[in-house]
């Protein structure tokens, strides 16, 4: 009788102890599973970072390969001796900045040689060092290039602006008929570029006080360049200008 009574009263304690033990076991299992999950997550994050880095490297290599193919096609099309160079730094956003290339006096470069890419004119060599040079791009505030409008054949001077990728044409009369999307080419008067090389497209035009206000979108992707071509110091060649499809890009909103 007393054994039955003792067993009856001991049952709740036994059940509680069993439940506590089960809870402790489940907790240990959850902690172990959580640690394993966190470890696996850390491994996955590392692998993802490695894949992203590999993708960036492959993207850069593929982009440079595409650019090299385009430049090779350009070199085949132009019957002129050109020297390939690679960009080391693009400091266009810095005050009085420019594009640094990996060639200088060691490769026979001199100031005012023209620089082009597959899409069009980039700029000219501004200063030459022993093994590096600085290129003054078309949109630099202190840059100027002799240009010609495709339809009217009117000549003017392209000057850089404070807007990246844009430049303005000076000394065009208000009487001239200029159209949005009209291609702009080098005129050859500055003796840096041969006549007929693509500069860009007219993106804005309006009569000014003394002359026409003309904004040009530069054709060369100045922010995405990797490989360039250096023209001879005195290029003796003229290209036939054709009406390229317009690619107008407006200046930033609010800019005047």
Quick one: which of 199, 165, 159, 168 has its CA closest to 93?
Answer: 165
End-of-domain residue from the set 77, 105, 120 = 77
Cβ atoms 176, 152 nearer than 8 A: yes
Q: Bigger pLDDT: 64 or 216? A: 216
Angular region, 188: left φ>0, alpha ψ -120 to 50, beta rest: left
Looking at the chain, the whole-number percentage of residues with pLDDT higher than 70 is 65
User: Is the same domain home to 65 and 88?
Assistant: no
Q: Bigger pLDDT: 110 or 69? A: 110
Instruction: List pLDDT tens digits, range 51-64.
Output: 676 666 555 544 55
The torsion angles phi and psi of 77, rounded to 5 degrees, stand at -80, -30
User: Is the same domain home to 48 and 142?
Assistant: no
* Count of beta carbons in the 10 Å neighbourhood of residue 57: 10
User: Is the same domain home to 55 and 114?
Assistant: no
Residue 12 pLDDT class (50, 70, 90 cuts): low
User: Is the same domain home to 108 and 40?
Assistant: no
Full domain range(s) for residue 233: 82-256
User: Is the same domain home to 25 and 108?
Assistant: no
User: Is the same domain home to 70 and 94?
Assistant: no
Cβ atoms 109, 131 nearer than 8 A: no
pTM: 0.66
Question: Using CA atoms, how far apart are residues 33 and 28, in angstroms rounded to an integer?
Answer: 8
Q: What total of structural domains would you count in the chain?
A: 2
User: Is the same domain home to 100 and 178?
Assistant: yes
- Asked if pLDDT for residue 243 goes beyond 50, the answer is no
User: Is the same domain home to 106 and 61?
Assistant: no
User: Is the same domain home to 34 and 91?
Assistant: no
CA distances from 104 to 83, 114, 126 (A): 12, 14, 11
């Amino acid at each position: 009788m007393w054994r039955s009574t003792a067993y009856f009263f001991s049952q709740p304690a036994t059940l509680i102890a069993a439940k506590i033990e089960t809870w402790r076991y489940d907790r240990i299992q959850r902690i172990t599973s959580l640690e394993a999950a966190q470890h696996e997550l850390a491994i996955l994050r590392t692998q993802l970072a490695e894949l992203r880095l590999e993708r960036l490297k492959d993207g850069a290599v593929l982009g440079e390969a595409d650019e090299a193919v385009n430049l090779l096609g350009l070199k085949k099309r132009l019957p002129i001796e050109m020297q390939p160079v690679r960009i080391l730094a693009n400091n266009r956003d810095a005050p009085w900045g420019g594009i640094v290339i990996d060639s200088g006096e060691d490769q026979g470069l001199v100031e005012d040689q023209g620089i082009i890419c597959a899409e069009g004119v980039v700029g000219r060599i501004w200063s030459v060092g022993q093994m590096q040079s600085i290129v003054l791009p078309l949109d630099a505030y202190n840059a100027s290039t002799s240009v010609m409008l495709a339809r009217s054949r009117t000549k003017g001077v392209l000057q850089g602006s404070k807007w990246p990728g844009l430049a303005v044409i000076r000394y065009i009369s208000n009487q001239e008929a200029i159209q949005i999307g009209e291609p702009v080419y080098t005129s050859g008067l500055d003796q840096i570029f041969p006549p007929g090389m693509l500069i860009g497209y007219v993106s804005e035009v309006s009569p000014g006080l003394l002359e026409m206000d003309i904004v040009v979108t530069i054709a060369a992707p100045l922010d995405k360049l990797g490989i360039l071509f250096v023209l001879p110091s005195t290029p003796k060649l003229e290209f036939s200008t054709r009406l390229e499809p317009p690619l107008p890009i407006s200046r930033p909103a609010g800019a005047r």
